[in-house]
Chain A
Amino acid sequence: MNMEAFNDRNVADNGYFLVDIEDYPTDGWGKFKRVVKRSFKGELFVGLWVVMREMIRFDIHTVQYPQEKMPIGPRYRAIHEMKRLWESDTERCIGCGLCEKICISDCIRIDTKIDENSRKEVSEYTINLGRCIFCGYCAEVCPELAITHGGEYENASDQREHFTMYEDMLTPLDVMKAGKQLEFEGFGSITPHEDERVKKTPLAY
């Protein structure tokens, strides 16, 4: 989809113009003239013709929703997903807790422990979706691009506090093995071709 029309704020060049509206008549004769003009100008028939034309053209724009769906933008923020590393298929989350910290509705709960290799490991991670406002801060703050938003917007729950667990959000291993994990392109993700712009840190002064 071409976003140009939405991003261009310079309305003056976009074919916008002021509609020429006559002043309202104040005296009786002027009003009478306006009535006569409106009665015989045939504007009503223009309206009739327009809808008739659309009916004949039959250019239907209906999306028959459950069968057909509109594509959603990459920046859409629906239920969270937890990504895995492409190299090793292990989870990206390092348990830094930044997402828990930044969450403005306090709905992330994270607990970590030290595993047998003396590495930090996430032992518990839940998001209370009843409280989440899908602001995207967690995805933006995550240093590892681990927590992101997905595109799943058809959700229902039989309770208000619906918790989603770490395991449910994590990309399943078989999907990962098939190389089908979708990289998040929305809020907080890396700009495309960012690596070309990376410069070496100047060490010699």
Chain B
Amino acid sequence: MDTAYLIETIIKVVVILLIFSALAGIGTYFERKILAFMQRRLGPMNVGPYGLLQVAADGVKLFTKEDIIPTNVVAPIFKIAPVITAATAFMAAAAIPFFPEFTIFGYTVHPIVADINIGILYILGMMAVGLYGPMLGGMASANKFSLLSAARTAAVFISYEVVSGLAILAPIMMVGSLSLVDFNNYQIGGISHWIVWSQPVAFILFWISAFAETGRTPFHLIANDHEIIDGFGTEYSGMRWGLFFIGEYANMFFISFVIPLIFLGGFGDGSFLGAIGLLAKVAFFFFFFLWTRAAWPDVRPDQLMWLCWKVLMPIAVINVVITGFVMMF
């Protein structure tokens, strides 16, 4: 491994970390503003022009708050849990090609940390590991709301891993590779080549399970404020809680990258326009996360299980079988 490659990788890692930590913060600003507008409110207005500096104020607050470890918690696990959520979210980003490759000062940059040949499997796996954050955090806390939330986390993630895995299986069969770059190149021919046209069912299923994996409304029951306080976050304070938050928002951004990359043509032929197109798609999916939060009610845990095992999973299996038959003949 030569030094240039090492330096390039480190720079990429740092850039991704910085950009997406900042985006997680700005994401909260957008979430507040958009939710507010949809509910005919103004949202944050007082810190900076139109509340723009609210993110900075929140950051200062989170960083300077006392780090409380309550008496009855299992301290080591309680302390490590938020790190798991945030770290795995960023680790998943390693296999995501954020941009088409471009040349700068005669040096070709691939804006992907590691184009491993099991890309999508790695991303899904990493996001699944992220579930240990809420789960361990909830179980290590000494209150029943956190425990409930931990149980819900386990149930939700186990079931929706199945749906997202099966849904993604059909496109993988078509592309014949697990690398997201290959996915992108498969759809390089323009809009008519997008996988969403041949796999609309898989697209919808994957989208639905993306909501469950990021724990967003309508599947927000892991930390449902109106039922179980803040779920696993009840006993967390300061930056530990902030790490959960960054993890959640980073996850939202990354899944918003993954969906267009798999189904909607990604960055296309790699031109500048294609890169802008990818950003537009990401923005739409991120916006949709906020949009549904304003519009839809949460489902009950049992309804969620029902939806997963009795509706989505059979559809996903049928989809895989049909895809297989179509490809065979």
Chain A interface residues toward B at CB < 8 A:
35, 44, 47-48, 50-52, 54-55, 58-62, 64
Contact = CB atoms under 8 A, between A and B. Distances in A.
A50 B38 CA distance: 9
Looking at chain A's contact residues, the main secondary structure is helix
Contact of A62 (B34, B41, B294, B311): B41
Contacts of A58: 37
Contacts of B311: 35
Contact of B295 (A35, A50, A59, A62): A50
B33 to A, nearest CB: 10
Given A55-B34, A55-B37, A58-B37, A64 B42 contact: yes
B288 to A, nearest CB: 9
Contacts of B39: 51, 54
Given A50-B295, A51-B294, A62-B36, 19 more contacts: A44-B295, A48-B291, A51-B38, A51-B291, A51-B295, A52-B38, A52-B291, A54-B40, A55-B38, A58-B37, A59-B40, A60-B37, A60-B40, A61-B41, A62-B40, A62-B42, A62-B45, A64-B42, A64-B45
Contacts, number: 39
Interface string B6-41: 000000000000000000000000000010111111
Nearest to B218: A44
Label chain B's interface by main secondary structure. helix
Contacts of B291: 48, 51-52
Interface string B290-302: 0110111000000
Interface of B: 34, 36-42, 45, 291-292, 294-296, 311
Question: Interface centre among A35, A59, A60, A64, by most B CB within 10 Å?
Answer: A60
27 contacts: A35-B311, A44-B295, A44-B296, A47-B295, A48-B291, A48-B292, A48-B296, A51-B38, A51-B39, A51-B291, A51-B294, A51-B295, A52-B38, A54-B38, A54-B39, A58-B37, A59-B40, A60-B37, A60-B40, A60-B41, A61-B40, A61-B41, A62-B36, A62-B40, A62-B42, A64-B42, A64-B45
A50 B182 CA distance: 39
Contacts of B40: 54, 59-62
The winner among A47, A48, A51 for most chain B CB atoms within 10 A is A51
A59 B40 CA distance: 6
Contacts of B295: 44, 47-48, 50-51
Contacts of B36: 62
